[in-house]
A = this chain, B = another copy of it.
């Protein structure tokens, strides 16, 4: 699988100098936008070079060894090129062309030809009908159609969030959103019709990949429900997955897009629950939620303390927290007394209404009191940024969260364009709405709880094994059932 993200050499099959040629945009990105240092070859009818990439008429004409074939030609010639790749000894192929099983009977027949060739030559295939692969570490990118300004802004940092995305449009939204967020993408793969490599293979790969902290998925269908479930159950990293097809209309629409049998939403939902996968409620959660995992410790209980200097948000967040299955922390008289002593607080019961005038020192004392209290598992701060001091206080809060090992999902009550600008400027993990902040706390707890239960049951199992051997384990399982 590594070869898809780190090929030493690539043949872009179908890249030419014709106007509107999509393959040429891949050659351009790899040779002109990117510092990618592998060899790139172009394969086209004339054997012409494209954007400085040496051209050949056939893959088999390339004199050097080729790691990866990227095919972006009309569908009808794809099977022949796949066989050519096989002849050349290429074992990894990305097929970006569309017009296969998503396009009726003729397409399905060609798809079978490809599968046959893959078996014959022992090739692994990504696609068809996909956007390709992006690796921000080595700047390898075979997304067709990518423009220079997008490439530069998308590729700039080494992120830790990797994605399996069954659609190019979603890739763009995620990468665009990261430009104004505190996390960045690591690797992205668009798996299209997944004739060979599917979402479960990619989950497995990203789970082992050292540079991946959180995995995101956009799916239109599940290829193999049992395989997906078994893989999900082995995950040791947070996975956030959005799937279309909750309704029959959504399924039908997805089917025309990437050729899946989309009627397996229940199977997917069940796999998410059993595997501790977070089912995203909107596309935006794919990019908004990862930061609660990368930038904050996990939420290990349900009791949340809210504090705000905009009184309305006490009630708004209390409603949202309770509806999300979390709880408003009950602060003891002792804790309330400590809070009172910090300064002019309007209301020391949770939600804590800070009132408008507070010093940095008061903020820091409040953070310590709440984070150190065993009545509180996490924070939902809603501070108005009426003074530069408040943003400094927020930055200190993010550090204290690491010290006390409790998370804060911070929302500043602003128009979204202002929040995004603050987040970008100060590089703090701000959420864009109170709903998003509450959801972040909720998924943090959900994931922590799943992993804790899993560990507990695995400990219990190994304890029983040690104590009684296999049969003892069996006995104890029967008793607990």
Which positions in A face B, CB cutoff 8 Å?
20, 145, 166-170, 172-173, 176-177, 179-180, 218, 220, 244-254, 256-258, 262, 282-284, 306, 310-319, 321-323, 328, 347, 349, 351, 353, 356-357, 384, 413-418, 420-421, 432-435
Residues of B within 8 A of A353 (CB): 256-257
Contact A244–B417 (Cβ < 8 Å): no
Complex CA distance for A220 and B244, rounded to whole angstroms? 36
Complex CA distance for A417 and B167, rounded to whole angstroms? 21
Contact B177–A310 (Cβ < 8 Å): no
Contact B256–A349 (Cβ < 8 Å): yes
Contact A253–B169 (Cβ < 8 Å): no
Complex CA distance for A434 and B256, rounded to whole angstroms? 19
Residues of B within 8 A of A349 (CB): 256
Contact A167–B319 (Cβ < 8 Å): no
Specify which of B169, B251, B310, B312 is in contact with A313 (CB 8 Å cutoff): B169
Residues of B within 8 A of A414 (CB): 172-173, 176
Complex CA distance for A170 and B310, rounded to whole angstroms? 8
Ranked nearest first, the 3 interchain pairs of A and B with the lowest CB-CB distance are A169-B310, A250-B319, A176-B415
A282-B433, A311-B257, A313-B169 known; A319 and B247 CB under 8 Å? yes
Complex CA distance for A180 and B179, rounded to whole angstroms? 19
Contact B435–A315 (Cβ < 8 Å): no
Contact A310–B247 (Cβ < 8 Å): no
Closest to A218 in B: B312
Complex CA distance for A169 and B346, rounded to whole angstroms? 15
Closest to A220 in B: B315
Contact B247–A323 (Cβ < 8 Å): yes
Complex CA distance for A384 and B150, rounded to whole angstroms? 14
Contact B169–A318 (Cβ < 8 Å): no
Complex CA distance for A316 and B417, rounded to whole angstroms? 24
Contact A311–B252 (Cβ < 8 Å): no
Contact B413–A257 (Cβ < 8 Å): no
Contact B168–A310 (Cβ < 8 Å): yes
Residues of B within 8 A of A328 (CB): 249, 253
User: Nearest chain B CB to A325's CB is how many angstroms away?
Assistant: 11
Closest to A433 in B: B284
Closest to A350 in B: B253
Complex CA distance for A384 and B218, rounded to whole angstroms? 18
Complex CA distance for A248 and B318, rounded to whole angstroms? 9
Contact B247–A311 (Cβ < 8 Å): no
Residues of B within 8 A of A421 (CB): 417
User: Nearest chain B CB to A283's CB is how many angstroms away?
Assistant: 7
Contact B413–A172 (Cβ < 8 Å): yes
Contact B180–A417 (Cβ < 8 Å): yes
Contact A415–B250 (Cβ < 8 Å): no
Residues of B within 8 A of A434 (CB): 282-283
Residues of B within 8 A of A257 (CB): 311-312, 314-315, 353
